[in-house]
Structure 1
Amino acid sequence: MAVHITLKNGEQVKINDHVYCSPSWSVRDGTPYSVARIMEFLHKEGTTRGSTPAGGSSASAKGKGKENVGASTNGNNGNHSFTRVRLAWYYRPSDVSDRPVADSRLLLAAIYSEICDVSQLRSKCFVVHRDKITDLAGWKKRPDRFYFNRLFDPYIKKEFEVIQSNDVRNLPPNIREALTTRYEYVVAEKEIVPDLTDTLRQCETCSKWCPPPESVRCDRCKHYFHMGCVQPPLIAKPTRGYGWTCGPCSRAHEQAVEGHEVRHVTPVPKPKSNAPPARGRGRPRKDRTLAEKEENLPIKHFKMWPFRYFGLYTVAEDTLDPDDLIFPRTTTRVGPKYQVTIPAMSTARDPELEERGGDATIEVLSVVLRIPEDEVRELEARKARLTSKVEVSSSVDWLTEVVRRLSDAWLNDREFSTVNMSNPFRLEKWKKVETRYTDREWDDDEKAAFEDAILVHGAELRIVRDEVGTRTIADVVRYYGHWKNEKLGEENERRRQRGPSYKPETNQVSQIDIDSDEEGSVVKVSTKSNSSCGACRSRESKTWWKAPKGLASNVLCDSCGPSWRKYADLNHLRPMREETVAAKAKTGDKREGTPLAAAANKRIKTTGSSQATPPPGPSIPQLRCLACHKNGAIGKVLKCQLCGTRMHGGACGVLPDPGNAESWMCDLCANEKSGDPSVFTTDCVLCPRPRRDRKNKDPFPQPDSFLRACKPTEGQGWAHVACAVFTPELTFSDAARLRVVEGVSAIPHNRWSTRCALCNHAGGAVVQCGDCSKEFHIACAWSRGYKFGFEVQGLKNRKDNTAPITFNEHVGSLHAVIRCKDHDASKRPILDICETNESNETALQVYCKTYKQAPIKQSYALLRKARRLDHIIEEKDVPSPTNGHVSPPDAEPHCHRCRTVFSPFFHPVPRHNSSGSSSSPKYLCHRCHFEQEHPQANGHTELIATSS
């Protein structure tokens, strides 16, 4: 007699029915329902009553025994009050793989079961094998219908094909009969399915059955042989692409070759396989009555399972044993390939080595028990003075080190008063270098980076370590424990202050009255609420469902809520989900899947946190920019694949290209990889020459600072991006990519000779504070946390030739500004370096494109450099005034256009081309003459060739 259980929604389920299963929403937050098959009903744990007889139950028993209704989920104390149920799980493809699957009705079977409470069963559903469905399209249109054609094993984490046992023909009659009478489905590897579904294969030598892994086929006569029945026996099968011929076929071929009777063999068609035909996309059969029959087809179960593994690593005769394991298996790990050969250990001991277990081989932490009582009181007094501070009074590391140092002082006959804790290091017996006995304090920047990374990545501490950048993984793990305890302590203190009558507010739901069911997933919205569905944005729904995390709203309408829980599919979120799946594929992140409460060693290995990962949403892994100290999505914030430095692309002159975000390298690493000679002279030409000792010969800037961003200059030099942008005389030949820095020689001499107010060193080019007269190096100002940005100033009058810009709501001219910490930044706000406008361009990009672009269309690089050098020489050779009049020029010629007196030779200007009525001859230097004669020159190579 079949036993039925009545669910909360009124449906009755029995053994071998398929159901939705899920704990309360607070436990399984954001995850859809799990699909499972009922294997047996169990009484309350600890009772002596047995379970339901489920060994040979069949789904064909539907409709029988409806009068024997068991206890409902509220439970009673009758003979049929079952409180637990054993479920056989089905997986969704997204639970075990990152492959996007568009079909929300496709499942993966599994030979894996768990015991759950009956209260976790939600409603009934139907799961059928693909080959038993005639009209798949019509099947998927009906609610609560699923299908499967593959099986996933959670232990070896591999997928297998599932075929009907009646389709397996290549077996001996006794084995096939035992397989087909017990099991409905056979599980095997994909490559062995055609061999199992072929006709019975027998060896031509011994006339016995040829198992596929142990047999070989002749390539000429197409007969099968055991690899041990041929002479000589075959050790292994032929390599893929090669054939094998039996002895008679080989001799016949040799005789044909000797008799010159060789002809091209007519290709033998491939024997027709009896495997079930592949399902095509043709017109399906529209038979509704047949579809209803397919839901109730009887399924054979043996010991509660319809599956049996029969693949590459199965011994066929073991199928006859009813107690043989039915689980999928893989190749054994036995033999010299997998087992290590350990050499014999010598029993002779080196007499020079200390015997283990003595005082010379152990680290003494405390000898308090050996100290006399009068000295113990003195030790306790000294210990109390050393641990008087509140922050160390309960520190295990501190107290352990205090006792160790006091014990060491007593063993060496020293006074306890000589012991102090000023040295944070200690030399352990088995280490060559000193180590810390307590944690190094975290500074404010490290704490901020840690908390930002925790907010984005959760408990993925290795990613958090990369975000912090200055700590080891051990430091991050240890600090995470202290930080979490501190947050819990603060929360408990707030609760104590609020009192016992305080009730926390509902998560992000404004004006919603919670009226949850036992699952805790349904909320009823009051008439004052104006909430909208987080998927379809609908504002009208009779019942509102709690939405998973990551959506625009925390409620779903009556159509989207059940759709997500049952099918893990929201059509409105499909584009968003595809982006999230692509992002997760790069980081290796997977969604926590079923089973619900399995042991840790039996669950699918995931990289997520302990809680269920929220459904697809707009959350994308982010990185912290070293220029603006703000987080940004991967692709906008780039990370060098060699040194790990991170910054917005707009802050280092990188044009957006999401396809190359993972392979991006900073300019210094790219230059180092290319092997250019300038890799050894990467010091910034605008900063003072660094003083390095012999131990520290690393010329590269540290990757944890924005000063790692450097650009090449004219003349095989390098300059920090910050120094090049905030030095007014410098320009870029390509302002979009911030390459190449020009104009270093145009910086006035007094800026090079002035000492920096921060480092007190001369040699680099200084700039002035935007609000005072303090002068400093740009790199020194950045290292000390000065404010860098761009100030928008209005145009003073119409004669102002400064190019105006429009940046968000600001209109005017941009000015690069550096402010020291002595000034109030709120009076004159400035734009941040990485602040973006409507075109997603940073303020640094807009400033450089507008004011830092060199005139490359008017001249070429060598000519621009020569003009700057001429300007410097002209400033040095300005004649001194005499009585208010300028002294007459020298007799030697000079160019009347650029006024230079340095040229290989001068070209006289014809009289009819010269302007004015002066009778003195006029000349053009060789460069100006070349520009006049060749106005369409594209580069400086023509000038060099002509002058040479």
Structure 2
Amino acid sequence: MSFPVYLKNGDQVKANDHVYCSPSWDTRDGTPYSVARIMQFLPPADAPKGEEGKNYLYTRVRLAWYYRPSDVSDRPVADSRLLLAAIYSEVCDINQLRAKCHVVHRDKISDLSGWKKRPDRFYFNRLFDPYIKKEFEVIPSQNVRNLPDSIRDVLISRYEYVVAEKEVIPDLTDHVRLCDSCQGWCPSPDTVQCDRCKRYFHMRCVQPPLMAKPSRGYGWTCAPCSRKHEQEVDSHEIRHPTPVPLKPKSNLPAPRGRGRPRKDRSLAEKEENFPVKHFNLWPFRYFGQHTVAEDTLDPEDLIFPRTATRLGPKFQATVPLGPNPDIPPADEERGDDRTVETFGLINTLTESEVVEVEECMRGLTDDAELRHNVDWLTEVIRRFSDAAIVARSFTSVNMKSTKSTIKWVKDDKGLYTTVEKASYIDEPWTRDEVVAFEDAIQLHGAELRAVRDEVVSRSMPEVVRFYGHWKSSKLGEENQRIRTAGVPPKPIRKQYMSAAEANDGQRVGLSDDEGSIVSQPSKIPSCGACRTRESNVWWKAPKGLPTSVLCETCGTNWRKYADLNVRPVREESLPTSKSRSGIEKREGTPLAGPSAKKARTTASAQSTPPPPTTAPQIRCLTCMKNGPLGKVLKCKQCQLRVHAGCCGAIVDPANVESWICELCENEESLEASVNPDCLLCPRAGREDRARKPWPPSDTFLRACKPTEGQGWAHILCSVFTPEVTFTDASRLRLVEGLSTVPRHRWTTKCCLCSEPEGAVIRCNDCSKEFHASCAWKQGHKFGFEIQPVKSSRRDTTIITTFKGESGCMNAIVSCKEHDHSKRDIYDICETNEGGETALQVYCQAYKQAPVGQAHALLRKARRLDSILNVRSDHIPLITPEQKSPDPQCYICDTQFSPAFYPITNRLNGVHTHICHGCYFPGKRYYATRGVGLITEINSLELEV
């Protein structure tokens, strides 16, 4: 029996209705709804076959898809109601049905303009085949006239439309063409037309028969017309007038005019409910230049579009002649028993030989589990087969060697030989490898190449084999659980209402089955398209918009019609200025919109409107994109231009024009060192600084932050060095933890500048190591990526949300040679709906020092304790408690330090000490005696 199907809004749907179809919002990644036609409703996949299965409620539906032109090509299409049909179906979950719509062929619509003004109305006039990537014309089958009556009647009775190439349509819609000789139907491929009498002939009916049609640009005349033409020429009584080129007559339907839409309600309802013939669930079939007309009479004939093969003679195989019996065969010919790797010959053995093989197999191993191992059994059968080929005794077969052999391998000299390959049984997987494999399976599914990239210690064949065993073990555990506890009950899932609920007139409002309605938007939500702040319902917005929500109108237009008119973002960060009326316009009001104050009605006021005011745009040196003043700050002294969120600046809107960066501010306040060199980068000598001032103001590397030791560090280096934190992450102030950077980061050479100084970081996609500043100069990719977090690790992982995507946010630095198009990497200056940059969100979540646990000095002492514990075995320390002369720092002359490091001047051999505050794990050291006095210890060649 059949059950009525009702959607959430109470509309009943049945076969051949058109619907919107879409999975959940997260699954489809913000793409619009798909339009499809319901072909049939289906019970669950595991329902019994036959009549018993008809008693189950429908849980699946077979849909015939439509494409939008933008889905199949990069060609922009302004008409959002135009679709492309397709002879392609798919079975989907019935819960993916969203709402009803109407799709009609273009020729069935009398008023196209009025049709497109009505909601949920679409039309099509072409078909796209997803397999051969080609578009075809779709015409009503009644317009096809150049066919025999028997074929045309069958075509019209079965199908509503016909699919063909554009160049074939004039021939199909022409009047029926009959051969003037045999009065038989003339199909286009085998027909030739006389250029004078315009009659058609079969090429085989012409005397002599034509082997091919005339070349392009040439015509053909029949014998009577040729004879008549010769007589006219010989008589010299006729003078041919100059031919006037005529416009070729087209058999296509006349184009429709664009008149005023007719408001005929009954006609519009009749058109949307127009009955359409379907044969085997399809309303159209292919009838183009690659179709044999008589084959359409067969109901089992394929209806899909066809095309000619693209493989010419160049790609065809050339089969050589048979072997010459006079020439002796080669010593080693590929394909015989010596070169083909035989997997098994058990089926060719006699019964006594099979019994002997079984007896020998029992003595090969005592391990019961190994006897049932597929890989072991495969290798045993192969070795017994090799013994049978060379007539060797089966008792000589043993499994002591785990190595297998492979034949027909070409060596360095170009000769084929037999070599020994790897073990036929893989080494047992470790626990770490299994965990990495299962995590990769959960992330990538059955894409084993992506899984292999996660499990780097195993080869691709090993991953494939382990996946088969792993999947079988999981299936065995599931079967054992079913045998123990029984089949679990299926959850009740209903996309549709019961008939009683529908008859009661119950209507369900907006449903959130797809999970795209934002129940609790931000305090001041703003539509990412029209910028309005008023809406009854807020929908999730696709990626790439200024905000992550859409109003009800824009959200509906995007989901149904893939139509989203994005208005440019107003410069909200400008200093608030009142309009001429004294009333401040709210965000979302068009710039050219009417003023709140009543405008003057004089002629002068109307004729000379005030010029629109445009906000100044400043290009950020980080992302190289323009932004309004306030969002992008410009230093008053050094002209540094950077997004406020990327330098931790919080500026009063009234003082944005007088903003000064921290390096310029320090020149007056002298709160930190006057040496602006980054402590995480290679040190520049005095000659380099004199030749090229550092840091330059035309790059993001000018943005620096003071450290806890009154030094300086680039914001870029501080953010992308994992061990470094900030005392105040919201303002990116006081860089902490430089001493916790591992020693190997300081001693490794940068692959870009070859300097062994500074702290290097590693590329996320390869093993290259470089300084963050060097990578920035080379144009490498800097950004942030959000990785999903397993439910079992959510308690131990910091989860943050950016632009609607939640997970663990990672700082990504990748070489510019890698492909980043398949990864969602947020740029440093990319902002979310709250106006925060990706750098801000990352630093606030992962770069904040634990200031609530201890004050700064205690945190530094704890880091010092950990460093001393680690380096106590490698670096000799002199603590104040040891009985020795009071040490004094050679750089800062202090006598108070948790530890002193002995150093030696290689020039004069004098032994001295450096305090822990002046010591740095590099080769060059700098210290400040007072303000402005720099001592370069490296010139003394000190050795720790």
Larger relative contact order, structure 1 or 2 (CA cutoff 8 Å, min sep 6): 1
Using structure 2 for the length normalisation, give the TM-score.
0.45
